Amino acid sequence: MPFFRLSFHPLACPSGFFIEGVGKRMTALTKMIIIDDQGKPVSFSREEFASLIGQAVAGFGRLSLDEYVERVWQLLSRKESVTVEQLHQTAILEGLSYIDEDEPDWTFVCARLYLQQLYREAARQRGYDARERYGDFYSLIVSLTEQGVYSPLLLERYTKEEIETAGSFLDPGKDLLFTYIGLRTLADRYLARDYERRLYELPQERFLVIAMTLMVNEPPKRRLELVKEAYWALSNLYMTVATPTLANAGKSYGQLSSCFVDTVDDSLQGIYDSNTDIANLSKSGGGIGVYLGKIRSRGSDIKGFKGVSSGVIPWMKQLNNTAVSVDQLGQRKGAISVYLDVWHKDIFAFLDARLNNGDERLRTHDLFTGVCIPDLFMEQVEQRGDWYLFDPHEVRKVMGFSLEDFYDEEKGCGSFREKYWQCVNEPRLSKEKVPAIEVMKSIMRSQLESGTPFMFYRDEVNRQNPNRHLGMIYCSNLCTEIAQNQSPTVMKRQYVKDGMIIIEKIPGDFVVCNLSSINLARAVTDGVLARLIPIQMRMLDNVIDLNNIPVLQAGLTNEKYRAVGLGTFGWHHLLALKGIRWESEEAVRYADELYETIAYLAIQASMELAKEKGSYPAFPGSDWQTGAYFERRGYQSHGELDWDRLKQDVARYGMRNGYIMAIAPNASTSIIAGSTASIDPIFLKVYAEEKKDYKIPVTVPDLNEQTTWYYKSAYHIDQRWSIKQNAARQRHIDQAISFNFYVMNTIKAKELLDLHLTAWKSGLKTTYYVRSTSGTIDECDSCAS
């Protein structure tokens, strides 16, 4: 039997396609020996090899095939015999070397060749003919459930007939949408394997298992219809789910949420309990944000003993050790960010914690840092005024309130500045006076060296909080896109009863992030937003009920607010397809219009879910219920967006979710979907994605003669245009956005300061990394969606 029939499923390809393109150079049909999957030697001709490659390049007739085939054949001919695996690997590696700005489609050819390897490997493990590409779906579920890889949930909740019907939804043709780097990332990190790392699950089966898992609790009469719709959204790459959901849905381990945010109480018990909670979440695949602003500063008193507190740095060291030692399912080390208020006495030590020089005992290189900044500080920086640093414990003891519990309700006036000046003018309160600009210089120095701290503009965040009736937002998460109510969990008492130690705690709001993102380039171009967003919001909402979170207060908060984060990626890709330049008013207007539409559809979808399933428990008194959410953003009906009607419907029927939108970085999942990350501009049109022992050449998506002019590098873009775009979209997003600055390493301090001031004045809630050309930045995998 010819080799290519063993390994390839015939693709739609004219039989003469390859012969016309390459066959002219073939003066003789030399042969070699191929070792097939059964270990038998098979004679394999150059003509058969030509046919094999011809199938893989179907539809890409402009590629330079002659030289490629000659090079691969010569490489293979040097060996006495070649295995099927070696043949495919050689063809793939040689194909990757051809990827460049002129011929980007080689990535799809390599993806098709790699697909055949995946089909063969899965068929070998599952015992079916590889020419079928996909085996029996029900048998897969039974096999992996028996091996303990899959949870019993699918077999318990779906009948065999339902699973077989779901299996009929599988569309192997959708595998051809993947680029090589996208398929490789999906296969290496997310497809289900047994405990010997042998591949069982194929790409479309991963999507279908996710769809079935997320719809498992829906009413049986319409459940398969919803599974089919969710699979449609995933298989067409119109959307991606969060990395933990992509990796863990349907499996017997891990959880489904992306990030968590904890507020640490200022007590020994609270600090150590928080560390335990963080460790438990980290091991199950969660990224962590931690607010440290309530912890007393260095030199504060403990139980009346003066000057004995060691401040926040030792507790940061403890968290740093947790991040390193408690990894995420063996895949990567834990990811933890810590936030501190800019008025905290330990702020300078905090800002130095990631620097490369200085006392290593005071360094936490494995943590990410963020600074909580009130409007008043930015005003003092701009005016070159003084700034005062306080110990939060002393403020509580002397003043009878916690300064971090206040924010300015209006721009330029409000509770925080009133309380702050009270503290400044209180003679009993110790304080340190420093020029505000000196604090800002330390912030920027750290950013240019390490990329952090992130900036969290606490007043704007809390002013726009739709659930401000029930709490305060102290900080953000690991990737700065989550903004939800927080409070510390406090030990009430512990006692012995019937031989058992009983510990009672008052649970705080422990934030949970449930993320999913729209692939703008595909969904907008195909005009499917109105169909996509309702199923996507349902999938997100169902994650809340399915998730098994190992920290109880996080589970309670998840149920209380039912918060989700619908996001987007592929913004630069979409602009290029539409022929819109990044640095233009047209791009700013388009961001405003598009994100208003997405917000409308997301709010409408959550309202419809509330009709069906009920509102989130904290809805009464929220800005959603009172209508303040819509009024604060100045929404008025126009075109197909009937904001007046939607506002009335929300007041009447409620909202299923207390928070609905957040834009995450999407670094890994945007690669899988073959688009650009988040709302970011590209780095380079052609670059290499580095793996452990090799590099994969990658081009930006849909690179051609038309789009190339619209793919300008992030480092050559005026960052003010990015701020304008982000300010336009931020109005429509109830939470926040992972927004990076891209700067040259030669940037002057004054220029970077101007960018920060512009971002703050423009109403941005957060900024993420300052990405300088001088260094590399660690990506956040947890929030990728």
Question: Catalytic positions, please?
Answer: 477, 479, 481
**Token pair of 469, please?**
């009736």
CA distance 112 to 107: 9
Distances (CA, A) of 532 to 81, 236, 296, 602, 723: 50, 11, 48, 10, 28
User: Which residues are CB-neighbours of 780 under 8 A, at least 6 positions away?
Assistant: 287, 335, 478, 479, 665, 667
* Cα R_g (the chain), whole angstroms: 28
CA distance 532 to 231: 11
> Is the peptide bond between 453 and the residue preceding it cis, with omega within 30 degrees of 0?
yes
Location of structure tokens 């290593």 = 360
The H-assigned helical ranges of 614-718 are: 623-626, 628-632, 643-653, 667-672
CA distance 95 to 263: 50
- 285 neighbors 550 (Cβ within 8 angstroms): no
**Token pair of 673, please?**
């979907």
Is residue 428 packed enough to be buried (19+ CB in 10 Å), middle (13-18) or exposed (0-12)?
Answer: exposed
- 193 neighbors 205 (Cβ within 8 angstroms): no
CA-wise closest residue to 669 among 776, 519, 482: 519
- 83 neighbors 40 (Cβ within 8 angstroms): no
CA-wise closest residue to 218 among 541, 693, 630: 541
CA distance 588 to 755: 17
- 751 C-beta neighbours (distance < 10 Å), count: 12
Q: How far is CA 46 from the centre of its chain?
A: 45
Distances (CA, A) of 297 to 310, 452, 495, 623: 7, 21, 31, 36
Location of structure tokens 């595998």 = 175
Q: Residue 431 corresponds to which amino acid?
A: K
| Phi-psi region at 36: left, alpha or beta (left = phi > 0; alpha = psi -120 to 50) | beta
- 133 neighbors 173 (Cβ within 8 angstroms): no
- 155 neighbors 145 (Cβ within 8 angstroms): yes
- 118 neighbors 709 (Cβ within 8 angstroms): no
SS3 498: coil
- Residue 156 backbone phi and psi in degrees, to 5: -75, -35
Location of structure tokens 């640095």 = 583
CA distance 170 to 443: 51
User: What length is written for the chain?
Assistant: 785
- 628 C-beta neighbours (distance < 10 Å), count: 14
- HSE-up of residue 137 (Cα within 13 Å, Cβ side): 25
CA-wise closest residue to 674 among 599, 549, 570: 570
